[in-house]
């Protein structure tokens, strides 16, 4: 059988191994957060923001950020119907309700018109998720948020490397969050980060992130409020530091992989991630195609063909409204049309042209 083609896996070099080894041997006592602080500084500098707090997951970062905004029972947060559940779950942790609205057919991200229609007196935030590294229409979302007095938050879990009008994704909203799961462009194994330019909000989240212990509290182990424990481990941050020293290489490789697929799949009845333009540069975390709805297509036979050739297949996210976990108030026909016609393509850092050709050949056999 031909070698396995994974849909994704991290790029780990001797640099990551050396830093993690140092953290394991020496990162204790007074040095127990040394790599964490270094990682936060490196990421904040890369993103161009004032503050960063490394976390154990993007989910935890989002949970703390929403809590810091005062979101609680009875409140609503608007987000796109097509998303991984990790974007919606933290809203429910606070007793608030995710309000699911439709997406744009080209970017697969929040449709600003549908967002505005869904705003009520209970709306406390708009959650802009940059799906697969595609960028939300932030200009329109920020204008809507400003007009209604509602903060716009960026879930940039998948958008490392994406840039909007010269500013990196995650650096423009009231706060931003990122994921460093093993599938992401930059990884710490598991992990995330919370970022902002709002110093007051940063101080609130910093307190929440330390079990409610304020940095200004002189009494040892005295919590000023009940907080959370979403800290990143020092060893994980050591891996992240090595990855940050390679960040431009990691991002450029993602773009090169996408471009290769785009060229090789040209002529097929598919729409891929939006290409750069209109002030937007994409990080292409997950090269994805949507089959034209005018073409008969069943995804399972393609996935079966992938399996027969030892290729990992990964489906497009389900609409959250179809999972049965959330109230469905708004019509989301675009989301429901996109989901069953979407497929993510293998895109790990070390994938070869020969391996991508195997993927392309299989797609062409099914769609050509």
Per-residue pLDDT of 34-58, as tens digits, reads 999 999 999 999 999 999 999 999 9
pLDDT for residue 327: 86
User: Is pLDDT at 319 greater than 90 in this prediction?
Assistant: yes
pLDDT tens column, 199-251: 999 999 999 999 999 988 889 999 999 999 999 999 999 999 999 999 999 99
In whole angstroms, what is the distance from residue 76 CA to residue 58 CA?
A: 20
Q: Is 23 helix (H, G, I), strand (E, B) or coil?
A: helix
- Percent pLDDT > 70 in the chain is 100
Does residue 129 or residue 218 have the better pLDDT?
A: 129
Please, are residues 118 and 139 in contact by the beta-carbon 8 Å criterion? Answer: no
Residue carrying structure tokens 């008969």: 296
User: Is pLDDT at 340 greater than 80 in this prediction?
Assistant: yes
Residue carrying structure tokens 């995330």: 192
Please, are residues 315 and 342 in contact by the beta-carbon 8 Å criterion? Answer: yes
Domains and CATH numbers, the chain: 14-244 (3.40.640.10), 247-367 (3.90.1150.10)
User: Is pLDDT at 278 greater than 90 in this prediction?
Assistant: no
Q: What would the mean pLDDT of 343-353 be, rounded to a whole number?
A: 97
User: Is pLDDT at 277 greater than 90 in this prediction?
Assistant: no
In whole angstroms, what is the distance from residue 160 CA to residue 134 CA?
A: 10
pTM (two decimals): 0.96
Give residue 342's pLDDT band: very low, low, confident or very high (50, 70, 90): very high
Q: Please, which residues bridge with residue 291 across strands? A: 270
pLDDT for residue 354: 97
- Percent pLDDT > 90 in the chain is 95
User: Is pLDDT at 1 greater than 80 in this prediction?
Assistant: no
Cα dist. 100→127, 156, 299, 320, 327 in Å?
10, 18, 25, 8, 8
In whole angstroms, what is the distance from residue 339 CA to residue 108 CA?
A: 10
């Amino acid at each position: 059988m031909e070698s396995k083609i994974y849909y994704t896996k991290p790029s780990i070099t001797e640099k990551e191994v050396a830093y993690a080894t140092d953290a394991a041997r020496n990162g204790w006592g007074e040095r127990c957060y040394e790599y964490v602080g270094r990682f936060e500084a490196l990421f904040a500098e890369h993103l161009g923001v004032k503050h960063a707090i490394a976390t154990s997951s993007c989910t935890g970062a989002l949970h703390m950020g929403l809590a810091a905004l005062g979101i609680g029972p009875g409140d609503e947060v608007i987000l796109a119907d097509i998303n991984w559940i990790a974007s919606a779950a933290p809203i429910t942790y606070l007793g608030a309700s995710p309000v699911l609205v439709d997406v744009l057919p080209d970017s697969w991200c929040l449709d600003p018109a549908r967002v505005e229609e869904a705003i009520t007196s209970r709306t406390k935030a708009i959650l802009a998720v940059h799906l697969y590294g595609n960028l939300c229409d932030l200009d329109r979302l920020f204008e809507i948020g400003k007009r209604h007095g509602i903060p716009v938050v960026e879930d940039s879990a998948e958008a490392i490397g994406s840039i909007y009008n010269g500013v990196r994704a995650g650096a423009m909203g009231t706060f931003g969050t990122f994921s460093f799961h093993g599938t992401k462009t930059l990884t710490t194994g598991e992990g995330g980060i919370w970022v902002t330019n709002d110093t007051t909000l940063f101080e609130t989240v910093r307190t929440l992130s330390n079990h409610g212990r304020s940095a200004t509290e002189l009494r040892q182990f005295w919590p000023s409020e009940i907080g959370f424990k979403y800290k990143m481990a020092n060893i994980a941050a050591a891996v992240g530091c090595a990855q940050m020293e390679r960040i431009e290489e990691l991002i450029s490789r993602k773009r090169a992989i996408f471009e290769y697929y785009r060229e090789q799949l040209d002529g097929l009845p598919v729409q891929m991630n939006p290409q750069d333009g209109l002030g937007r540069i994409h990080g292409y975390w997950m090269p994805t195609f949507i089959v034209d709805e005018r073409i008969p297509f069943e995804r399972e036979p393609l996935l079966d063909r992938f399996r027969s050739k030892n290729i990992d297949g990964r489906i497009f996210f389900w609409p959250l409204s179809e999972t049965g976990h959330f109230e469905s108030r708004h019509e989301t026909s675009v989301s429901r049309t996109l989901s069953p016609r979407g497929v993510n393509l293998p895109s790990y850092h070390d994938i070869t042209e020969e391996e991508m050709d195997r993927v392309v050949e299989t797609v062409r056999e099914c769609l050509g």
